[in-house]
Structure 1
Amino acid sequence: MRYEFSGLQAATLKILLADMGFEYQRRWFISQKRVRHITKTRQCGADWYFSLEALIDAIETGRSPVFYCPR
């Protein structure tokens, strides 16, 4: 299955992040580091944020996101 997204939708997602994201999530977005090591609490919104960031990046660049979780 293939989904098609437009640049306008990416811009809308960025606005969503600016409006709904917490301050620390906006700082994560501004930093744009490719590799991050984060010790987080269970409900800080990291899953929501990183999913949204990966979708925006995939729309804008065509790259497929890869997530690693060490055990």
Structure 2
Amino acid sequence: MSITQTLQQVAGAVGIAVMVSILSAKESSFLATVANEPTQAVATGSSLVFKISLLLAIVNVVLSLFMKKPSLKSMGN
């Protein structure tokens, strides 16, 4: 049980780090190529990260529909 909780914590931290890296890369790209508008760059980066997060959430919901419920025998009853 504690291994699962630890894995969830680590996966959450890695996920946030990846999303912040994507946000930062998109901001830098926007500032270098489009315009020198920091607020617009943050909005562009945030928009991309929210779209990626939405896509991952949809994938999670769809995959959760295919999960099987454990039988009572496997639960120890």
TM-score (norm 2): 0.30
More helix by share: 2
| Larger radius of gyration between Structure 1 and Structure 2 | 2
TM-score (norm 1): 0.32
